A and B are shown apart, each in its own frame.
Chain A
Amino acid sequence: MTINAQKYLVGIMGLILLVSVIAAGWLDDQRRKKENPTAVVVVAAPVVSADLQPGLKLYEQLSCVACHGIAGKGGVHNINAQTGQEVPALIHVADSYTKPDLIAKIRTGVPVTAKLNPDGPVPPLHMPGFKDFMSDADMDSLVKYLYSLKPQGENLGF
């Protein structure tokens, strides 16, 4: 290939590169519109009382925090999940679950996350079951911690 031909080739490839980058930018815009993102703010873990420490430790060790967020505030994106395309927050579990129900949920997990749009992609995150690696005492500590996440002074209901 002659030098001149190579120079032309570089020019053409430069153009293709430019078009490819523009296409990626356009695609990014489309993805963002579709997924309706909100900003994630990483905040420091809150200080909890001594009796809640074992539960908080488990919450971090078992990686619950990775999906449900610090202090159970949620916000981790889960594309096409029925729960607002996010992993649900846990701050209101005290209102939504009785203790046995919550324990059962932690034990079995949520093997399949329900889809928001039935024709859309499978949500990448689902909750694993923890029945094999938590003792009853661990479960009590975790549930106690989760119940404590309810915002102070907030009273739901009529």
Chain B
Amino acid sequence: MSRLTAWLHDRVPIDPEELRKPLKEPLPIHLKQWVFCLGGTPAMLFGILAITGILLTFYYVPYPSQAFASVTNITYKVRMGWFIRGIHQGASQLMIVTVLLHMIRVFFTRAYRKPREFNWFFGVGLFMLTLTFAFTGYSLVYDQLSYWATTIGTNMIADLPVLGKPLLYALRGGPTVNPNTLTRFYDFHIGVLPMMMSLLIGVHILMVRLHGVARLEGDPREETYPFFPDHMLKEVIIGLLILIGLINYVIFFPPIVGALATPGDTPGHIRPEWYFFPTYRWLKLTTLSIGMAGSICYVTGLFFWPFVDAALEKIAPRRNLWLFVGTACYLVTIVFLLWEAIVG
């Protein structure tokens, strides 16, 4: 032990070997396939979002009279403001996509089964948080589209049973979207949600470490390979690919600002962001109450899917009912998304 290491060790009595252990963790050989490396991507994107988000708060003013002007200021005047805003916007969209892809991979490899049910809960929780993040962030722009998307999005809450109306009032800080709504959404976006997200990501990773990476169903191979440097290199490559893609996307498609939010002047064609298209299309097909009830059932089913899968297995062993139900749900979601995107 060098003198410096010994000096440090006296003051921080942690064995460096203990710290290196997680780096050397053996991983199942199937993780060498790129599709199994998607889990780390949302965490990287969260890091990018945190850094760009902090930079944006230097210039953003969360009050209706100045929110739009400050976004315009960031986009057109602040040095590299357009770039930071573009990266933040792009990373948020990409985060939703990568979380979805990771969930689909976990679903179709059934990595959520006993004893990993809790980690599926945390995963679905992270997905919900990601959507809430995107929703609150979008509303901060305070242009016509974001103002009315916020109005529609929060209106849906009113139809939740029992708590709907008080919750809507608490969220908006009044009967309509008003200055209080913006400051509340801002608080959530930069305070409450990042804290919850960091905590859940930590617990999610901890659970993976505690249980170890799930073995692939039907893969007889017993070989392993080390996390560092082999797997780490793959994650670095994905991280770099994301950064290069995002930067070039922003260079070629820099962010713009829409028309200023004008309460009372409802635009002819309003709809939420693409990740709410399936829900929005579903709500258009039914009455609001039935639509909300259906959405709640869908989300509850998603949360408790490991137990639903186990129940289906008991009802009809080896019939792969999980695959039929799961595929049907995914297909319906994709059809609704495309339907809304094309027909509007």
Contact = CB atoms under 8 A, between A and B. Distances in A.
Highest count of chain B CB atoms <10 Å: which of A6, A16, A66, A126: A66
Interface of B: 61, 64-70, 72-73, 76-77, 79-80, 82-83, 142, 229-230, 233-234, 236-237, 240-241, 243-244, 247-248, 250-251, 256-265
A16 B248 CA distance: 10
A14 B66 contact: no
Contacts of A37: 76-77
Interface in A5-19: 6-7, 9-10, 13-14, 16-17
B61 A42 contact: yes
29 contacts: A3-B233, A6-B234, A16-B244, A17-B240, A17-B243, A17-B244, A27-B251, A28-B79, A28-B82, A31-B76, A31-B82, A35-B76, A38-B77, A60-B64, A63-B260, A63-B261, A63-B262, A66-B64, A66-B66, A66-B142, A67-B260, A76-B69, A77-B76, A124-B72, A124-B257, A124-B258, A124-B259, A125-B260, A128-B259
Interface residues of A, number: 42
Nearest to A66: B68
A126 B262 CA distance: 12
Instruction: Name which of B69, B237, B259 has the most chain A CB atoms within 10 A of its CB.
Output: B69
Interface of A: 3, 6-7, 9-10, 13-14, 16-17, 20-21, 23-25, 27-28, 31-32, 35, 37-40, 42, 60-63, 65-67, 69-70, 76-77, 79, 124-126, 128, 132-133
10 residue pairs, one from A and one from B, having the closest CB atoms: A13-B240, A133-B264, A65-B65, A20-B247, A37-B77, A66-B68, A77-B76, A6-B233, A60-B65, A76-B69
B65 to A, nearest CB: 4
Contact of B73 (A17, A32, A61, A77): A77
A52 to B, nearest CB: 16
A28 B75 CA distance: 11
B71 to A, nearest CB: 10
Contacts of A16: 240, 244
Contacts of A14: 240
Nearest to B250: A24
B66 A42 contact: yes
Contacts of A66: 64-69, 142, 260
Given A20-B247, A66-B69, 6 more contacts: A6-B233, A10-B237, A23-B251, A67-B260, A70-B65, A133-B265
A24 B80 contact: yes
Contact of A7 (B65, B77, B233, B243): B233
